[in-house]
Amino acid sequence: MNTDSDFRNRHVLVIGGAGFIGSHIVDYLINHGAAVDVYDNLSTGNLANLEHVRDQFRLIKGDILETAKLTKAMSGIDLVCHLAANADVRGGIDNTYIDLQQNVVGTHSVLEAMKNQGVGEIVFSSSATVYGEPAIFPTPENTELIQTSVYGASKLAGEAYIQAYCEYFGMRSYIFRFVSWIGERYSHGVVYDFVKKLQQNPQELEILGDGKQRKSYLYVADGVEGIFHAVASSDSPKNVFNLGHLEDMTVVALADIVVDEMGLDKVAYHFAGGARGWLGDSPLVLLDTSKLNQSGWKPLVSLEEGIRRTVRYLLDHPEIMTR
């Protein structure tokens, strides 16, 4: 079992460490004494996310499909946090290869590099999309996994490869099935889309789906605490955790909060689609987080407050809205 103090003697590689979630993981690790390397191709990540700690980590610019470079980057590493992925859930319907390459082949490349350098532990960002459209809510980790999107299928394949490598090569894994995360440095997703649309037209807002979809979100600081709480409290060689909020809300309710935080009035909502926003979208996402809750972790920031903080951050950082 690990403890927070272990990071003072640990060397951690954060793959995708310049991204939204990855940069917050870098912050946590630095604050807890780890030596940190960031491996990122900067295709969606941004070094501005790490400007405040620029002298406290080593940057390796590279893609996870560059196997020789990635293997070299693993030298001397104790723990890998693998956050790199194609994150466009909707895009899989137009490009059915990108999730295969970035999420499946890329994860295999990470595991091979770990094996070749003797790295023993991995934290992996999976997704609630692996559940497809489940029949049980809140959805527990042992729910049957029937896929409705190529993105979800690719994340599930990544989980499977990780578990197989744990079995073959004695690795330890911590797999986290995320809901959508929100908070500072957030650069894509529904809150981002709503803010951008409302900046372009403060009178009208297009909402994908019928607006009745119910989703759960998680404030980024709570999520990072959840990850490392699980790492510190888990003894099993193969761990799978749901990581989400106890609350959920409709997309219309989220839109109302965004509109209010932006100080707008009398915004007309227009809906595009039926019960879901796009093929592969899940109309209801609410994960059963009792497995992690029972070990002592719970989110501290409410959905509404997390959304408001996200909107304020986007308005205070207009450069993000042009990316």
- Residues 191 and 193: their CA atoms lie apart, in Å, by 5
Query: Rounded distance, CA 51 to CA 44, Å?
Result: 16
Residues in the chain: 323
Query: For residue 237, is the peptide bond before it cis, meaning its omega torsion is within 30 degrees of 0?
Result: no
C-alpha–C-alpha distance, residues 288 and 263, integer Å: 34
C-alpha pair distances (Å), 21 with each of 138, 148, 169, 238: 24, 25, 28, 22
| Pairing status of strand 217-219 against strand 249-250 | unpaired
Q: Give the helix, strand, coil percentages of the chain, each rounded to 5.
A: 45, 20, 35
What separation in angstroms does the CA of 257 have from each of 96, 235, 296, 316? 34, 40, 30, 17
Q: Are 51 and 23 in contact (CB under 8 A)?
A: no
Catalytic residues: 151
